[in-house]
Amino acid sequence: MNRQAQAVILLLLGGAVIRASVTDLYLRYVKEGLRPFLIAAGLLLVAAAIMTLWYELRPAAPRALAPAGGAPAGGSGSGHDDHDGHGHAHHEPRVGWLLILPVLGLLLVAPPALGSYAAGQAGTALSSQQQSDYPPLPEGDPVQVSVLDYASRALFDRGTSIGDRRVQLTGFIATGGDGEPILARMVLSCCAADGRPVKLGLTGDVPAGLPDDTWVEVTGRYSDRLGRDPVNDAEIPYLEVESWRQVPAPKRPYD
C-alpha cells in the first residue's frame, strides 16, 4: 500500500465520517454527544490526507537524512515507495486497506439502526438496578414519555408515579416470547455494539398485523400486568393500549 493510496483511504474515511456526522446518519450508530468529536476527527483525517499528498506530489525537496541507496532488500517495490529514497515498501501497512470497509459501510450501505432482530437477541435492559422514587410525570394529556421511562416507572415504582394518566410512547414492533407483538426501543450508552432493548408488553387495542420493525406511537394507560423476557428472565411491564398509529422511524432511534 503506497502513500498515495493511504492518503486516498484517509480522505475517504474522513469524508465518510464528516458526511455521517453533518447528516443525521451518525445517530444510528452512536450517541449524539459524539458529534463534535466525529467532525473534528474527520477534519483531521482529511488534513492528514492532504498533507500526505502535498509532501508526496510536491517536487521532491532534498531530504537531509534520507539514506539514499541504502535501502533494505525490499527496496525494489513500486516506484512511489522508491522515489523518496527510503525504499521500505514492505513496511507500509497493507492492513490499512481494511479501512475501506467502514467507508463502504457508511457511504454505500448505511445500515439501519438496531431493530427487532437485535431486540430479540438480548434481554430487556431493565433488569439493571434503578432508583425507586420517581418525579411526577410532566404536564400534558396524553403525556409524552420514553419507553425507558415508562418501563422503569411501571416496574420499579409499580406505576405509582404514573397513576391513571394517559401516556404516549414511540417504539418499534418486535415479536415477544409468546409470539405476541411487543413494543421495544433500544438504549445505547456508547455505540450500537452495547445497544440493549427495553421491552413492553401490550394489552388492550394491540397493534396487530404489523411487520416487525414498524415504528408506532401508542397511547394508553398503566397496566399492572407483568410478563417475563425469555432471554434473561427479567420482568417486562405491560401497557394498556387505547389507540395507536403508525409513524415514520424517528431521527433519534435510540432512547
The interface with another protein within residues 1-20 (CB under 8 A) comprises 1, 3-10, 13, 17, 20
**Using CB under 8 A, which of 33, 59, 69, 128 touches another protein?**
128
Single out the residue of 155, 153, 100, 146 nearest to residue 250, CA to CA: 146
Grid coordinates representing 106 are 457508511
Grid coordinates representing 20 are 455521517
Q: Which of residues 94-123 bind another protein (CB under 8 A)?
A: 94-102, 104-106, 108-109, 111-118, 121-123
- Any contact of residue 46 with another protein (CB under 8 A)? no
- Any contact of residue 151 with another protein (CB under 8 A)? no
Report, in Å, the least distance between residue 107 CB and another protein.
11
Q: Do the Cβ atoms of 42 and 18 come closer than 8 Å? A: yes
Site string for another protein, 59-98 (x = CB under 8 A): ----xxx-x------------------x-x--xxxxxxxx
Give just the sign of the alpha carbon dihedral 94, 95, 100, 101. positive
CA distance 43 to 15: 8
Q: Which is nearer to another protein, 150 or 244 (CB)?
A: 150
Say whether 30 sits in a helix, a strand or coil: strand
**Using CB under 8 A, which of 22, 24, 32, 40 touches another protein?**
40
- Any contact of residue 231 with another protein (CB under 8 A)? yes
For every residue of 144-197, DSSP letters joined together read E--HHHHHHHHHHSTTTTTTT--EEEEEEEEE-TTS-EEEEEEE-SSBGGG-EE
Report, in Å, the least distance between residue 173 CB and another protein.
14
**Using CB under 8 A, which of 23, 160, 232, 246 touches another protein?**
232
The interface region with another protein, picked from 29-37, 146-154, 168-176, 241-249 by CB under 8 A, is 29-37
The interface region with another protein, picked from 51-59, 141-149, 153-161, 214-222 by CB under 8 A, is 51-59
Single out the residue of 232, 186, 226, 233 nearest to residue 203, CA to CA: 226
